[in-house]
Structure 1
Amino acid sequence: MRPHPLLALLALAACVEQEPEPSGAALFREHCASCHGPDGRGGGAAAAALDRAPPDLTQISRRNGGTFPRNRVMSIIDGYTRGTHSGRLMPEFGEMDLGPTVIIEDVPGVGTPVPVRLLALADYLESIQH
């Protein structure tokens, strides 16, 4: 008896290795902690060499009236928009591989493709707000 073609396809799909979900905390440790500190409050090892101290990332929501500005944070991280606060001090992480995109829907019915690693990092930053 031959296996059903759909079952064979499902078995093949199960064998395909899935890319693990990125950890926002791990991405932060790898790319951000040297300047922003291991807890996001500033004072990382590389911060002393900078002209201006990196901001305390645990206070983003407080500085924004109690709301975490996810889209603005992602835009600053990837380098799409930069205010005068970061200028050229912060690397543009959008130039590196931020992984495949996922669709997020901030406005009902409007989906925006966002790199999965960028979203994970923004989620992590939101989780450390005080």
Structure 2
Amino acid sequence: MKPALIALFALPLAACVAQPDVPTGRADFEALCAGCHGATGRGDGDMAALLDQKPTDLTTLAARNGGNFPGTRVMAQIWGYAKTGDRVMPEFGPLLDSEMVPFDGGDGILTPTPIRLVQLEQHLRTLQR
């Protein structure tokens, strides 16, 4: 097998390898998201009642997107790139800054992305109903 092909297959696997001292996506969700979105992601966290706008039900992201989980859009929202005029959610980019891993957001292009952001996106996929 050509070295370039080996690298192409090895790069996506880098995101699956546990990195030392890097919290899991679940741990980051519990620490950063569950307060507002709730432990199950339904928007019913302890802080939700104190907010002017109800947190998004994260369990329906795929359903609201024609059955496809909008991973890149979700990561942009978490990181803080997706700024809307009515944005209530804080930007978590600085808190998730970590080692970069190649991530394919569905367009076939491997983009260097912080591993903690990738892991959080992967955890949110598991919450879909």
TM-score above 0.5: yes
SS of alignment partner, residue 73 of structure 1: helix
Within 2, Cα distance between the matches of 1:112 and 1:51? Answer: 35
**Matched residues in 1 for 2:103 and 2:61: separation?**
21
Instruction: For 1:82-97, list aligned pairs within 5 A.
Output: 82-84=83-85, 87=87, 89-97=88-96
For the Cα contact (< 8 Å) 1:22–1:116, is it kept in 2?
A: no
Identify if the C-alpha distance between structure 1 residues 40 and 97 changes in structure 2 by more than 3 Å, giving closer, same or farther: closer
Equivalent-residue separation in structure 1 for 2:96 and 2:77 (angstroms): 16
Q: CA deviation at 1:73?
A: 0.4
Report the count of equivalent residues: 110
Name the TM-score, length of structure 1 as normaliser. Answer: 0.77
- C-alpha distance in structure 2 between counterparts of 1:107 and 1:49, whole Å: 38
Identity %: 44
- Relative contact order higher in (CA < 8 Å, ≥ 6 apart): 2
CA distance, structure 1, for counterparts of residue 56 and residue 69 of structure 2: 15
1:128 corresponds to: 127
Q: Distance in 2 between matches of 1:101 and 1:54?
A: 28
Corresponding residue number in structure 2 for 1:19: 20
Q: For each residue in 1:102-122, what CA deviation from the matched residue of structure 2 results, as whole angstroms up to 9, or x when unmatched?
A: 0123434x3200000000000
Structure 1 distance, partners of 2:68, 2:55, is 20
Q: What is aligned with 1:5?
A: none
Q: Supply the distance in 1 between the matched residues of 2:69 and 2:24 (Cα, whole angstroms).
A: 19
- With normalisation by structure 2, the TM-score equals 0.78
Contact 2:43 2:55 in 1 (8 A): yes
- Unaligned stretches of 5+ residues in structure 2: 1-18
Q: Which has the larger radius of gyration?
A: 1
Residues 1-130 of structure 1: pairs in structure 2 closer than 5 A: 19-20=20-21, 22-84=23-85, 87=87, 89-105=88-104, 106-108=106-108, 110-130=109-129
Q: Is the 8 A contact 1:77 1:94 kept in 2?
A: yes
Residues 52 and 39 of structure 1, relative CA distance in 2, 3 Å threshold: same
**1:54-100: CA deviations, max 9, x gaps?**
0110000001110001100000000011335x51x111001224211
